[in-house]
Amino acid sequence: MQVKGTEIFVKALKEEGVDILFGYPGGQAIDLFDALFDQDEIEVIMPRHEQALVHAADGYARSTGKVGVCLVTSGPGATNLVTGIATANYDSVPLVCFTGQVPQSLLGNDAFQEVDIVGITRSICKYAVTVRDRKELPRIIKEAFYIARTGRPGPVVVDLPKDVQQAMGSDEYPSEVNIRSYKPNEGVHMGQIKRAVTILNKAKKPLFLIGGGVNISHANKEMTKLVDITGVPIITTIMGKGAVSTNHPLYMGNIGIHGSYAANHAVSECDVLFSIGTRFNDRITGKISEFAKNATIIHIDIDSASISKNIAVDIPIVADAKLAIEKLIELAVPVKTDEWIDEVSGWKKKYPINMDKNSGMTPEKIIRTINDMYKNLIVVTDVGQNQLWTTQYIELDENKQLLTSGGLGTMGYGFPAAIGAKLGNPDKDVICITGDGGMQMNIQEMATAVAMELPVIICIFNNGYLGNVRQWQEMFYNKRYSSTCLRYRKSCNRDCGNCDKECPKYTPDFIKLAESYDAYGIRVTKEEEIVNAFLYANSHKDGPTIIEFIIEREVNVLPMVPGGKPLNEMIMDC
């Protein structure tokens, strides 16, 4: 049977199991939206800005393991996706982003709302393509979903000129994919696995370094089993956090510039670093020449391009984490590590991450309250201090998940991603932890959360600053707070250098703003009010609640490794 391009588009989404599509209409996507109007299988969610839309699809994808699907119009609709596509690309999030495009007869004419979105996104996505021929449309959509979710997952852009959308063609959707130039690795090299196990067994100071790839491959149970069998201590990147319960006795914390003392010293001292699903980003290596310099490094990663890219490794293994860990479990035996465990555990005990020296309502106290009150939780952060405190203090197990923009560090990510996570997980509590800066980058999504009756809890840590940059300015720029004060007004002394009660009033009033959206809001200024604020939020099941925590203005994220320094040269206090 012959059907329009728009009809095969809808059929393809259904065949791919899409239940939610994040879409914002416009001239060159209107036919596609029209085709979606007459069906109920795919729910169309309309965020209020395309950047938020792609973050919402990202939050949905990370929290469900499914592909997130976006549909926007050409020109500004498409360019507004760019930050979200790059965010997803860094963090290996499977998305398929459909963009409307002007008819092919107008391509290259600087037509109204025409941009070369494939050219723009090519370097920040896994694959981008313009469909030139209606005949190719079903195959290209099939391939787009396949590419997005296989291998190292990532975002794919499919640009759909209006004439292709409207043209008639076959109603058949392929059941198989065969892309000659793209064959993700599906096996494990047993020889390399055996070599890795032999090296591990001989180690005196072995260490597992676990990254985001283990969470992506859902290998949490297997990873826990491997740790239990071998008795080898484990550290994580912030993307790998939760791969093994943070309460596991062998879990020593996060590595990195804001990692724990124990984790950073363990990686500096270990003799075998067994790393799985991490891309050795500069936030975790510190000074590269000093990174794990005493260690033989084993690295399992699904993407051969991630191996020896930043850190030269001794035993490379290109494989899916889950598959490789299953093979490791078959061969694993207890490794003699008692002395080493005592040493690392000793560091963990002696130098815990805590904000004891700070009085009053610290971020630590707020996050620990979340740990105590929520047992079935997705916590989504924005970027900055709010994110770093969360990655330090949040406790994760098999019922809890952390979503954060790690690689690109995208402010404005948190709230829309939390909306996507809640849509994908209606039975879980979803808490967004954000800052007063990041919240304002996508605050318009209050309307989406209200419209969709989503009881997302939004914790705004309000310190009146772009706190992370302010911290750097305090520590390394002689307290010159250039463009970081969010209470600044034209009448202020630019170099006031202080933040006291004389400062102008903070705007916006987040509580009034919540009310104006027909949402709920509560401001918390004292430690004693924290629990009640969450109880207040829990009592609302029909829409979002903002909890604005007025935190100390100049509180820092510590410990910290200054730029360019080795991981074990940490500032513990300042």
Chain positions contacting ligand FAD, by CB under 6 A: 91-92, 152, 211-213, 216-217, 237-240, 254-259, 277-279, 281, 283-284, 301-303, 306, 320-321, 383, 388, 406-407, 409, 468
Measured distance CA(564)–CA(283) in Å, rounded: 10
Of 343, 224, 220, 239, give the one whose Cα is nearest residue 284. Answer: 239
Calculate the CA 499 to chain-centre distance. 32
Buried b or exposed e, range 541-564, using 16+ CB within 10 angstroms: eebbbbbbbbbebebbbbbbbeee
Closest CB to ligand FAD among 36 and 560? Answer: 560
Residue 133: CB minimum distance to ligand FAD, A: 33
Closest CB to ligand FAD among 11 and 152? Answer: 152
Residue 96: CB minimum distance to ligand FAD, A: 17
Residue 354: CB minimum distance to ligand FAD, A: 17
Closest CB to ligand FAD among 130 and 281? Answer: 281
Residue 211: CB minimum distance to ligand FAD, A: 2
Using DSSP, state whether 565 is helix, strand or coil. Answer: coil
Closest CB to ligand FAD among 248 and 283? Answer: 283
Of 395, 87, 413, give the one whose Cα is nearest residue 241. Answer: 395
Q: Residue by residue, what is the 3-state secondary structure of 80-100?
A: CCHHHHHHHHHCCCCEEEEEE
Contact 552, 499 (CB under 8 A): no
Buried b or exposed e, range 271-285, using 16+ CB within 10 angstroms: bbbbbbbbbbbebbb
Pairing between strand 315-318 and 296-301?
A: parallel
Closest CB to ligand FAD among 12 and 408? Answer: 408
Residue 100: CB minimum distance to ligand FAD, A: 30
CB under 8 A, 24+ apart: contacts of 80-83: 80/49, 80/50, 80/51, 80/53, 81/50, 81/51, 81/53, 81/54, 81/117, 81/121, 81/157, 82/120, 82/121, 82/124, 83/51, 83/54, 83/408, 83/410, 83/412
Measured distance CA(205)–CA(295) in Å, rounded: 9
Residue 420: CB minimum distance to ligand FAD, A: 18
Residue 456: CB minimum distance to ligand FAD, A: 22
Closest CB to ligand FAD among 112 and 477? Answer: 477
Closest CB to ligand FAD among 132 and 565? Answer: 565
Closest CB to ligand FAD among 161 and 277? Answer: 277
H or E element at residue 547: strand 545-550
Owner of token pair 């402010």 = 411
Residue 91: CB minimum distance to ligand FAD, A: 5
DSSP H helices, 174-297, are 190-202, 212-216, 220-230, 261-269, 282-285
Closest CB to ligand FAD among 155 and 240? Answer: 240
Residue 28 phi/psi, 5-degree rounding, is -90, 5
Contact 258, 557 (CB under 8 A): yes
Residue 169: CB minimum distance to ligand FAD, A: 35
Contact 237, 256 (CB under 8 A): yes
Residue 194: CB minimum distance to ligand FAD, A: 19
Owner of token pair 């239990």 = 228
Closest CB to ligand FAD among 35 and 557? Answer: 557
Closest CB to ligand FAD among 32 and 388? Answer: 388
**CA of 49: how far to CAs of 225, 386, 454, 512, in Å?**
43, 23, 17, 22
